[in-house]
Amino acid sequence: MQFSKIGIVGCGQMGSGIAEVAAKAGLTVIAREINDELLSKGKGRIEKSLAKAVEKGKLSAEEKSTVMGRIKFTTGIGDLCGCDLVIEAATEDIKTKLGIFIELDKVCKPEAVLASNTSSLSITELAAGTSRPGKFLGMHFFNPVPVMKLVEVVRTVATDEQVIQAAKGFAEQVGKVPVLAKDGGGFIVNRLLVPYLFDAITVYQNGLASREDIDNGMKFGCGHPMGPLELNDFIGLDTMFYIGEILFEEFKEPRFAPPPLLKRMVQAGFLGKKTGRGFYDYRK
Ligand code: CAA
């Protein structure tokens, strides 16, 4: 089993990154968004990322247009009918994702594999909404997709072994390192990362140290590329809040519960880098 035509549903930060790395690897990509405005934003994101690569001499201008030419942008879900693998990267909301998979199940060919890029929802629950749980799995990429090397390949009890092997092969083809996880809340990375990021918010809230010193502690003491408060901002405080709620619901362990300060910041509309304010001020 090999994938040559890839569908991407949702062309936000994650979806556009996945579309970019797949097209760079020579694959044909159909990227779908719900309206023209979001679609052109997604296209712009890929253009900008490739232009940066050209600027740095990593890609020629000619290669950039070849890569862009491999991506077809559409608002019609029916255009994904010929895809071998469709990766959903829509909003982290179970109803939205289930709705998408019900539609994909209808329009995609029976042998097509469906994958979700969810970071915390149950892959099994999403698969159960389709008629093809054997051809359904999680493929969790990391932000920024063109830079981060990891893909979590997530199997449910129903996923066919050959689908897992094909997904691992696809991840390697697009330059990533696949790791295999069972469908347990947060998979590998968020299961470990979320309590750490929440702890950083709690110690900041309790006045242990300044935000800069908390971040510098982990950057210079442990060699992390970003400190935990900066990373919360980078992922998005609303996303962190949703992930925490889902993991807390699953495990009922306090370490997964979103800290009160995080909740207040989300209520205030301070969602991190994307809105200009989070633990840091990005407006300048
Ligand atoms: N697209 C393409 N390339 C990008 C990029 C983007 N969005 N952002 C950065 N880069 C590239 C830069 O061009 C640069 O490339 P070169 O080294 O070839 O010049 C390289 O990445 C480093 O970037 P910068 O010099 O601009 O900045 P930096 O050294 O501070 O690195 C960073 C930026 C890569 C984001 C780094 O800070 C980092 O690794 N941070 C941690 C990110 C992380 O942990 N992500 C996972 C979040 S968890 C998640 O995604 C899952 C979830 O479910 C919540």
Superfamily assignment of 194-274 in CATH? N-(1-d-carboxylethyl)-l-norvaline Dehydrogenase; domain 2 (1.10.1040.10)
Distance 13 CA to ligand 1 centre (A): 13
Atom 18, ligand 1: residue with shortest CA distance: 56
138: pLDDT strictly greater than 90: yes
Average pLDDT over residues 274-284: 95
**Is the pLDDT reported for residue 244 higher than 90?**
yes
Determine the pLDDT at residue 72: 98
pLDDT tens for 55-86 read 999 999 999 999 999 999 999 999 999 999 99
pLDDT band at 253; cut points 50, 70, 90: very high
d(CA 164, CA 166): 5
Query: Looking at residue 50, what is its pLDDT?
Result: 96
What mean pLDDT is reported for the chain?
97
**Residue to substitute in 147, 190, 222, 231 for testing ligand 1 pocket (most ligand atoms within 8 angstroms of CB):** 147
Ligand 1 neighbours, Cβ below 6 Å, are 49, 52, 56, 119, 142-144, 146-148, 190, 225-226, 231, 235
179/68 Cα distance (integer angstroms): 29
User: Residues spanned by CATH 3.40.50.720 within the chain?
Assistant: 5-182
Q: For residue 173, what are its two tokens?
A: 């083809």
Q: Are 136 and 164 in contact (CB under 8 A)?
A: no
CATH of 5-182, one of 1.20.58.220, 3.40.50.720, 3.10.28.10, 3.40.250.10: 3.40.50.720
pLDDT tens track for 4-35: 999 999 999 999 999 999 999 999 999 999 99
Strands (E), 106-193: 113-116, 136-141, 150-155, 177-182
Residue 152 has pLDDT above 90, yes or no: yes
pLDDT of residue 47: 97
Predicted confidence at residue 284, as pLDDT, reads 82
pLDDT value at 92 more than 90: no
For residues 98-105, average pLDDT? 97
239: Cα separation from own chain's centroid: 11
For residue 167, pLDDT over 90 is answered with yes
CA distances from 50 to 20, 65, 176, 240, 263 (A): 8, 9, 18, 28, 36
Task: Report residue 246's pLDDT band, with 50, 70 and 90 as the boundaries.
Answer: very high
Q: Please state the pTM of the whole predicted model.
A: 0.95
Dihedrals φ, ψ of 160, to 5°?
-70, 145
Ligand 1, atom 38: closest residue by C-alpha: 225
List Cα–Cα distances, 114 to 8, 68, 97, 108, 165, in angstroms.
10, 23, 12, 9, 14
Q: Are 59 and 66 in contact (CB under 8 A)?
A: no
- Please list the residue range(s) of the chain that carry CATH number 1.10.1040.10: 194-274
Identity of the amino acid at 205: Q
Contact 129, 98 (CB under 8 A): yes
Report percent pLDDT > 90 for the chain.
98
Above 90 in pLDDT, residue 283? yes
Cα 143 to ligand 1 centre (Å): 7
Q: Which residue's alpha carbon is nearest to atom 10 within ligand 1?
A: 147
Give 148 Cα–ligand 1 centroid separation in angstroms: 7
Q: Considering only CA atoms, which residue is closest to atom 15 of ligand 1? A: 147
CA of 3 to the centre of ligand 1 (A): 27
Q: DSSP of 248-260, one letter per residue?
A: HHHH--GGGSPPH
Tokens for 194, please give them.
């979320």
Residue 106 pLDDT class (50, 70, 90 cuts): very high
Which of 10, 4, 1, 5 is CA-nearest to residue 101? 10
* Residue 241: CB atoms within 10 Å: 19
- The catalytic residues are 119, 140, 152, 190
Measured in Å, how far apart are the chain's first and last C-alpha atoms? Answer: 50
